[in-house]
Structure 1
Amino acid sequence: MIGTIFNCLTIIVGSLIGSFLKKGIKERYQEILMQAMGFAAVALGINAIVQYMPKSDFPVLFIVSLAIGGLIGEMIDIETQFNKLVGRFSKSDLAKGLSTAILLFCIGTLSILGPINSALHGDYTYLFTNAILDFVTSIVLASTFGIGIAFAAVVLFVWQGSFYLLAIYLNDFMSAHLLTEISIIGGILILASGLSILGIKSFKSLNMLPALLVPPLFFIITHFF
């Protein structure tokens, strides 16, 4: 878990630096930074989809996952609950920035493969590389949305910690095929988040998060049956 802890610390430090810079950035510059993050999220999302879609052995799984996950997320209404929680601490658009930060930090090859490699091989290369990327991203996000971006580190710890434990106890299911399916869904969610930041259309990206749980369940079920 050393790599994950280091990754979380870089996000916290980056958020502190970004929030400090925010005080000296004029509103029009904050707006252009927000647009930059929107375009970056769109580009990362498209890249993930294009990269992993051709590798999928189950081309319909991501559609089923989004449908089932979306219905579950809408029933729980994760987006509204999240906005209410964040609204207690901030009256700005922190919720939008924080939800984007969570998706950018958590949904990616490095953030998933990192804890798996750490658990199985003691290799921290992916996590350390991911930490550097997240450090820069957290500075930019916090310079736009504020210090609240640091809360994404808590979610990242739980996310990577889950994969770390799964790799130890359920390493048979940590296949490249599962990573591919999760990455496709993650790419779509990041793309939707970027479009929301750009104001093109508002998507309930957080309500779609349960879709990420469908592929692991599918692989576990098919393994036994």
Structure 2
Amino acid sequence: MPVGPLINALAVLLGGMLGALLGNRIPERLRVNLPLTFGAASMGMGVVMIAKVHALPPVVLALLLGSVVGELIRLEKGIEWLAGKVRGPVDRLFSVKSAGPDSDVFMQQFVGIVVLFCASGTGVFGALNEGMTGDYTVLLSKSFLDFCTALIFATSLGFIVPTVALPQAVILLGLFFTAGLILPLTTPEMIADFSAAGGIIMLVTGLRICGIKAFPVANMLPALIFVMPLSQLWTALLG
């Protein structure tokens, strides 16, 4: 049973709904300062994952190739377009007015949490790891962070935040059920480099959430597809 993916998606759903309902009743100092903690936590988790790297060159190459592909297919713009389409109907469904951050700030924050919830290295690795070993502790730890993140961001972004639980559940469940096909083809070195690439994406996601630098994190996601084959090729050629 996919315990981790279900708990993680439920955490985002409940946290997002609670935050959207509470809104301004949560003190301003918490709404302003806690995202900095979430960003720092994302960066810290990223650093821990980067430290697992086996070979840095294939990770860097995967990030470069992934970013090129992401930019060419305009992946982040696609997420922003979808968010814009979803935001209006969601607000009307819950009879609320689109308020809070302006469009640019909204998109910057929303894309950041979409990546953090749906496509972080921790989430992808956690789902694959549970599918193969039954260990759901990685996703359980991520769920605590995601619940609080969804709650705080939903106070300003509104009811669109809990809707992220649906694509998150689809992605994590898909990874869980395909783990049996993917992980037998991997090696410890490939997993280590995959974790490192995911860690770098989590690191820059944290920088984005903190408002330090608006990295195009969504456009970096194709790197997670390239990193394992490149890691295997690097190990085969150079050890």
| Length-normalised TM-score, structure 2 | 0.76
Q: Which residue does 1:107 correspond to in 2?
A: 120
> Does residue 1:11 correspond to 2:24, yes or no?
no
CA-CA distance at 1:113 after TM superposition: 4.4
In 1, Cα distance between equivalents of 2:168 and 2:44: 21
CA deviation map 1:34-71 (0-9, x unaligned)? 3333333333333332x223xx1x32011110111011
- CA separation of 1:147 and 1:26: change in aligned 2, threshold 3 A: same
> Does residue 1:154 correspond to 2:166, yes or no?
yes
Q: Which residue does 2:2 correspond to in 1?
A: 2
In 2, Cα distance between equivalents of 1:188 and 1:148: 27
Q: Which residue does 2:52 correspond to in 1?
A: 52
Match of 2:83 among 86, 93, 99: 86
Report SS of the residue matched to 1:201.
coil
CA deviation map 1:104-125 (0-9, x unaligned)? 334244x344433443344444
| Length-normalised TM-score, structure 1 | 0.80
CA contact (8 A) 1:182 1:212 kept: yes
Match of 2:212 among 194, 200, 205: 200
Report sequence identity in percent. 27
CA contact (8 A) 1:21 1:143 kept: yes
- CA separation of 1:208 and 1:145: change in aligned 2, threshold 3 A: same
Residue 164 of structure 1 aligns with an amino acid whose one-letter code is F
In 1, Cα distance between equivalents of 2:45 and 2:131: 26
CA contact (8 A) 1:196 1:203 kept: yes
Report SS of the residue matched to 1:200.
coil
Report SS of the residue matched to 2:79.
helix
In 2, Cα distance between equivalents of 1:84 and 1:119: 32
Q: Which residue does 2:109 correspond to in 1?
A: 97
- CA separation of 1:198 and 1:123: change in aligned 2, threshold 3 A: closer
Q: Which residue does 2:179 correspond to in 1?
A: 167
In 2, Cα distance between equivalents of 1:46 and 1:209: 17
In 2, Cα distance between equivalents of 1:16 and 1:80: 26
Q: Give the number of equivalent residue pairs.
A: 220
Q: Which residue does 2:94 correspond to in 1?
A: none
Q: Which residue does 1:36 correspond to in 2?
A: 37
CA-CA distance at 1:27 after TM superposition: 5.0
- CA separation of 1:103 and 1:47: change in aligned 2, threshold 3 A: farther
> Does residue 1:76 correspond to 2:73, yes or no?
yes
CA contact (8 A) 2:52 2:192 kept: yes
Report SS of the residue matched to 2:52.
helix
Gaps of 5+ in 1: none
Residue 115 of structure 1 aligns with an amino acid whose one-letter code is A
Indicate the larger mover: 58-67 or 18-27. Answer: 18-27
Residue 106 of structure 2 aligns with an amino acid whose one-letter code is L
Gaps of 5+ in 2: 89-97
In 2, Cα distance between equivalents of 1:80 and 1:20: 29
Residue 72 of structure 2 aligns with an amino acid whose one-letter code is M
In 1, Cα distance between equivalents of 2:133 and 2:210: 40
Q: Which residue does 2:92 correspond to in 1?
A: none
Residue 95 of structure 1 aligns with an amino acid whose one-letter code is M
- CA separation of 1:170 and 1:187: change in aligned 2, threshold 3 A: closer
In 2, Cα distance between equivalents of 1:162 and 1:223: 28
CA contact (8 A) 1:22 1:143 kept: yes
CA-CA distance at 1:83 after TM superposition: 1.5
In 1, Cα distance between equivalents of 2:180 and 2:142: 21
CA-CA distance at 1:84 after TM superposition: 2.1
CA-CA distance at 1:29 after TM superposition: 4.7
CA contact (8 A) 2:31 2:153 kept: no
Q: How does 1:175-214 map to 2 (within 5 A)?
A: 175-214=187-226
